[in-house]
Amino acid sequence: MRLLPVVVTGLLTVAFAYYVYIPLPDAIQEPWKLMMMDAGFRATMHLASLKAWLGFDHYITSIRQSMDGFDGMVKRSESGAGVMPGVKVSDITFAGIPVRVYEPPAGGEGHLRRGLMFLHGGGWALGSAKKGSYDAINRMLSDELNTVVVAVEYRLYPEVHFPVPYLDCLAAAKHFLSPEVLARYAVDPERVAVAGDSAGGNLAAAVSQEISTDDTMTVKFSVQALIYPVLQALDFNTPSYLQNQYIPILYRTLMVRFWLQYLGADLNLESQFMANNHSSLHHSKITPELRARLDWTVLLSPKHKKSYKPVIVERGSEGVLKAVPGLLDVRAAPLLAGPEVLAKCPRAYILTCENDVLRDDGLMYARRLQDAGVTVTSDHYEDGFHGCLSFIAWPFEFDVGKRAVRGYFDWLKNNL
């Protein structure tokens, strides 16, 4: 009988290790830290799905509650890290959209300041610029670069679907760029940026395109900073989607699910999207010209194409494009924009990570912007993974995250 506790403990240890362990590329530093973080996230997802199956909250609501609890724990542990006492923080609305405004301690008396609109990530379903590392980074940026930062709290799934988050961000952007508002915050109209990470990078790119082509706007964004942005939903078999499909924290299946949710599509279409059946050749609306805009065999370098082959389906799912029109809407998929639109876009900073399913979205967009005559700085992290910019504090602090934040800040300092 005395052996039973030992056996049970051993079995539990093995089970825990089995759940936590995932093979990771050698380039990723501190792999066990990433594994533990990912295991926690997966456990949260599984528990949320179970609660939803039992008839409790929507699984996204449960995940948000768990993230709020984790955010509170991190705040208590940081002991003031990331807090800039001189930065004035105001929670107000721009054109009816909730925003958080960060004003630097160096006032605008007689001196105009930089301005930046930030759009947070989270698969159009999770996250808030008011919490965690987003809040800390925006405070630091405001203080260090003497910048008025406007972080937009756009509405999220499941409460809304596309195009509502995009329209929220666009409305807030137009309000911020109005001469009256810029003057109120002493922001130089020639030094205003839009930035975002992941789904926020998607929104930042889409809003930037719309503002750039809107002749009624007297002030436009000077630069755009896109941090591992998601930019298209027609090809889930790019080299990076296949290479990194099991790499935390954004799995290929999860990104497909985020897209289905955002576009208001049937979640049972996941397997069809994974196989590229939704973008088969028989869909006449996906013209050769449109396909060329995300043809990774042309847009990627040999280093990133490797030995992967394009997954092109002759005949796939019937009626998908009619049921999910957002797939071809450039407001949802900025990579599909024509060269005449890209040519009007501002200078760009695009951060990509080697170990990220979205790597190729960012690399292809950088290439297409450059081909359209836009100046682009590509900042690629060989040891980076999706979301790394957010992991700069205990308990999940990564050196690559700190380097990514520094690269982002330095580029803005030199280009905005």
Tokens of 134: 């987003």
Residues 398, 276 within the same domain: no
Same domain? 283 vs 185: no
Could you tell me if residue 177 is inside a domain?
Answer: yes
124/248 same-domain check: no
DSSP string, 130-171: TSHHHHHHHHHHHHHTTEEEEEE----TTT--TTHHHHHHHH
71, amino acid identity:
D
Instruction: Kindly state whether residues 295 and 364 are assigned to the same domain.
Output: no
103 within domain boundaries: yes
Q: What is the pLDDT of residues 353-403, one digit of tens each?
A: 999 999 999 999 999 999 999 999 999 999 999 999 999 988 889 999 999
Q: Does residue 304 share a domain with residue 172? A: no
Q: Are 333 and 234 in contact (CB under 8 A)?
A: yes
Q: Is there a contact between 19 and 374 (Cβ–Cβ < 8 Å)? A: no
Residue 129 dihedral angles phi and psi, to the nearest 5°: -70, -10
Cβ-contact 124, 382 below 8 angstroms: no
| CATH code where residue 117 lies | 3.40.50.1820
Contact 218, 179 (CB under 8 A): yes
Contact call for residues 261 and 268 (beta carbons, < 8 A):
no
353 with 302, same domain?
A: no
Same domain, 223 and 243: no
- DSSP assignments along 304-358, one per residue: HHTT------SS--TTHHHH-GGGG-TTT-GGG--HHHHTTSPEEEEEEEEE-TT
* Distinct helix (H) and strand (E) counts, the chain: 17, 10
- The string of pLDDT tens digits covering residues 31-67 is 999 999 899 989 898 888 988 898 888 989 988 888 7
Residue 170 resides in a domain = yes
Catalytic option among 197, 356, 361, 383: 356
User: What is the residue range of 304's domain?
Assistant: 239-323
pTM higher than 0.85: yes
* Angle in degrees, 0-180, between the axes of helices 164-176 and 199-212, rounded to the nearest 10: 60
For residue 186, being part of any structural domain is answered with yes
77 occurs within a structural domain: no
- Count of the separate structural domains present in the chain: 2
Whether residues 109 and 134 share a domain: the answer is yes
Sorted by sequence, the CB contacts under 8 Å of residue 223 that are 6+ apart come out as: 193, 346, 347, 348, 349, 412, 415, 416
Nearest of 103, 347, 98, 330 to residue 221 by alpha carbon:
347
From 268, 293, 323, the end of a domain falls on 323
Same domain for 194 and 118? yes
Bridge partners of 103? 88
Shared domain for 144 and 293, answered yes or no, is no
- Taking only the tens place, the pLDDT of each residue in 268-283 is 999 999 999 999 988 8
Looking at the structure, do residues 164 and 223 belong to the same domain, yes or no?
A: yes
- DSSP H helices in 249-318: 252-262, 270-274, 288-292, 296-299, 302-305
Residue 16 lies in a domain: no
Average pLDDT taken over every residue of the chain: 92
pLDDT tens track for 10-20: 555 556 666 88
Catalytic site includes residue 356: yes
Q: What is the pLDDT along the chain (416 residues), one digit of tens a residue?
A: 566 665 556 555 556 666 888 899 999 999 999 999 899 989 898 888 988 898 888 989 988 888 776 665 555 444 444 566 799 999 999 999 999 999 998 765 568 999 999 999 999 999 999 999 999 999 999 999 999 999 999 999 999 999 999 999 999 999 999 999 999 999 999 999 999 999 999 999 999 999 999 999 999 999 999 999 999 999 999 999 999 999 999 999 999 999 999 999 999 999 999 999 999 988 889 999 999 999 999 999 999 999 999 999 988 777 888 899 999 999 999 999 999 999 999 999 999 999 999 999 999 999 999 999 999 999 999 999 999 999 998 888 999 999 999 999 999 999 99
Determine which one of 120, 168, 386, 390 is catalytic: 386
Residue with tokens 């699910």: 257
User: Which of 133, 198, 280, 317 is labelled catalytic?
Assistant: 198
Out of 323, 347, 375, a domain closes at 323
The encoded tokens of residue 132 equal 């965690």
User: How many CA atoms are closer than 13 Å to the CA of 222, on its beta-carbon side?
Assistant: 15
214 catalytic per annotation: no
Catalytic, 161? Answer no
283 occurs within a structural domain: yes
Using omega within 30 degrees of 0 as the cis cutoff, is the peptide bond preceding 189 cis? no
Query: Do 223 and 268 have their domain in common?
Result: no
3-class DSSP state for residue 90? strand
In a domain, 78, yes or no: no
Q: Look at residues 295, 323, 351 and tell me which one is the last residue of a structural domain.
A: 323
